[in-house]
Amino acid sequence: MNSSRVTAEIDLAAVRSNVRALRALAPGAALMAVVKADAYGHGMLPCARTARAAGAAWLGTATPQEALALRAAGDTGRLLCWLWTPGGPWREAVEADVDVSVSGMWALREVVAAARQAGRPARVHLKADTGLGRSGCQPADWPELTAAAREAEAAGVIRVAGVWSHLACADEPGHPSVPRQLAAFDHALAAASAAGLEPEVRHIANSAAVLTLPESHYDLVRPGIALYGISPSPELGTPDRYGLRPAMTLRAMLASVKKVPGGHGVSYGLHYTTPGDTTLALVPAGYADGIPRHASGGGPVLVAGKWRQVAGRVAMDQFVVDLGGDEAAAGDEAVLFGPGDAGEPTAEDWARAAGTIAYEIVTRIGARVPRVHLAEGHADD
Ligand SMILES: *Cc1c(COP(=O)(O)O)cnc(C)c1O
């Protein structure tokens, strides 16, 4: 057994089969594996390599720094990053052959200047705000942006490789904003085409849309959470419904197990009191490791063959579970979450206990937790 206090084990065979399952769900589109935020806590580089090997023609990141880190690690395929701020590393991105997103005139000006300095054209994806209200160009400003982009393209400074957008409610089946956003996207595409642009890829689908909205797939789909085997929302059902398997298992080694009498308080604030003589086990993982403090009194853990609950508060480095008198020993394993098929809770169960979404559970696993990647490079499993 692994001797570390707490370990996030990442099954790359699951990532690989998830990529294949998602490709099969969007057969007419290319796949962009979204590996931002350290691949949602799963380790960016091994997940990126695995996704490429399983047929992801594109990778996507939020920040340019993430994209440049992929290039520094040797990735050479198509790669888009979208979260830019003024003064960002546009020139480095252009020189590293990274596709960049542009939502407004300030960004177009910066990328044009960077491409001139780099002496090579920048590949740009123009982003339309079709209703989400984050980045993306508003319909009123779209004619100006597309015309200016076309002009820069005609001058050989940029190439408009993509037109894209992002959905607000794809994870809520039947939400009326979805068809509205798709119609707005079609308008933006028609206007781009009228401005003379001929993008290689049009894309709007996140995981939920890949799973449930074939009409949103266009030329390219951008799944994130589904790559890691997690369903975008409880309303969409469990991942196995789509042939997806959770990749991360979070295990800890019990740091102590001891008998205590009834009426004993547990953890800061003494919010839990043992109901009778019992056994308390100490799990050496806390909110500094990404265990949500909001799951105090409720987070589920598999210890000694049964689900237990966090007793009292989650502290920075540790929490306690009441074994109800069952036997265990220091060094025994506690499984906080995993695929769920060996009786352990899932990230979804933790999300419910903490009042959040499973995205946040896996993404917040802390830097102090070692990631152990299993099955890298076994292309045929
Ligand atoms: C994070 C992100 C995605 C992936 O979203 P999931 O819900 O994890 O599939 C896709 N596109 C953009 C722009 C994103 O920011």
Model pLDDT for residues 130-163, shown as the tens digit of each residue: 999 999 999 999 999 999 999 999 999 999 999 9
378 pLDDT tier (thresholds 50, 70, 90): low
Q: Is 290 left (phi over 0), alpha (psi -120 to 50) or beta?
A: left
pLDDT digits (tens, 9 = 90+) for 32-55: 999 999 999 999 999 999 999 999
Backbone dihedral angles phi then psi of residue 281, each to the nearest 5 degrees:
-115, 140
**Is any atom of ligand 1 closer than 6 Å to the C-beta of 232?**
yes
Hey, what long-range contacts does 139-144 have (CB within 8 A, 24 or more apart)? 139/184, 139/187, 139/188, 141/104, 141/105, 142/188, 142/191, 142/192, 143/191, 143/195, 144/105
- State the pLDDT confidence band at 1, using cuts at 50, 70 and 90: very low
Pocket of ligand 1 contains residue 224 by CB under 6 Å? yes
Which tokens is 175 given? Answer: 């939400």
**93 CB-side CA count, 13 A:** 32
Tell me, in angstroms, the distance from the centre of ligand 1 to residue 226's CA: 10
Length of the chain: 381
CA of 3 to the centre of ligand 1 (A): 35
Q: Which residue has the tokens 């975008």?
A: 232
Task: State which of 83, 126, 206 you would mutate to test the pocket of ligand 1, scoring each by most atoms of that ligand within 8 A of its C-beta.
Answer: 206
- With contact defined as beta carbons under 8 Å apart, do 270 and 282 qualify? no
Give 321-356 pLDDT, tens digit per residue.
Answer: 999 989 999 999 999 999 999 999 999 999 999 999
Ligand 1: nearest atom to the Cα of 206: 9
Instruction: List pLDDT tens digits, range 43-86.
Output: 999 999 999 999 999 999 999 999 999 999 999 999 999 999 99
pLDDT tens per residue, range 355-371: 999 999 999 999 999 99
Instruction: Write the CB contacts of 342 (distance below 8 Å, at least 6 apart in sequence).
Output: 302, 335
Residue 225 near residue 358 (C-beta atoms within 8 A): yes
* Known catalytic residue at 268: yes
Ligand 1 pocket residue status of 185, Cβ below 6 Å:
no
Helix 177-194 to helix 142-154 angle (10° resolution) is: 40
Q: Which of 217, 198, 228 lies closest to 35, judged by CA?
A: 228
Tens digit of each residue's pLDDT (9 = 90 or more) over 267-307: 999 999 999 999 999 999 999 999 999 999 999 999 999 99
Is residue 225 lining ligand 1, measured as CB closer than 6 Å?
yes
- Chain centroid, CA 254 distance in Å: 29
As a whole number of angstroms, the distance between CA 94 and CA 236 comes to: 38
Which domains can be identified in the chain, with CATH numbers?
12-228 (3.20.20.10), 248-379 (2.40.37.10)
Ligand 1 touching residue 211 (CB < 6 A)? no
105 marked as binding residue = no
* The predicted structure's pLDDT at residue 335: 98
Whether 166 lines ligand 1, by a CB cut-off of 6 Å, is: yes
Q: Which atom of ligand 1 is least distant from the CA of 164?
A: 13
From the CA of 166, give the closest atom in ligand 1.
Answer: 13
Closest to 273 measured CA to CA, from 261, 289, 283: 261
Q: Please provide residue 358's backbone torsions phi and psi, each rounded to the nearest 5 degrees.
A: -65, -25
The answer to whether the annotation marks 248 as part of a ligand binding site is no
In this predicted structure, what is the pLDDT of residue 2?
58
State in Å: Cα 143 to ligand 1 middle: 26
First to last CA, the chain: 23
Give me the pLDDT at residue 376, please.
79
**What does 326-373 look like in DSSP terms, one character per residue?**
----TT-EEEEESSSTTS---HHHHHHHHTS-HHHHHHT--TTSPEEE
Helix (H, G, I), strand (E, B) or coil at 251: strand
Question: How many angstroms is it from 223 CA to the middle of ligand 1?
Answer: 6
For ligand 1, atom 4, name the residue with the nearest CA.
Answer: 224
pLDDT in tens, 3-26: 789 999 999 999 999 999 999 999
Q: Is 229 in the pocket of ligand 1 (CB under 6 A)?
A: no
**Residues 228, 268, 306, 359: which is the catalytic one?**
268
CB of 162 closer than 6 angstroms to any ligand 1 atom: no
Where b means 16+ CB within 10 Å and e means fewer, 343-365 reads ebbbbbbbbbbbeebbbbbbbbb
Torsion angle (degrees, nearest 10) of CA 379, 239, 370, 380 = -10
pLDDT computed for residue 375 by the predictor: 87
- Ligand 1 atom closest to the CA of 232, numbered from 1: 7
CB–CB of 298/310 below 8 Å?
A: yes
Looking at every residue in the chain, the average pLDDT score rounds to 97
**pLDDT at position 379, please?**
59
Ligand 1 atom 15 nearest Cα: 62
Quote the CA–CA distance of 214 and 174 in Å, as a whole number.
Answer: 14
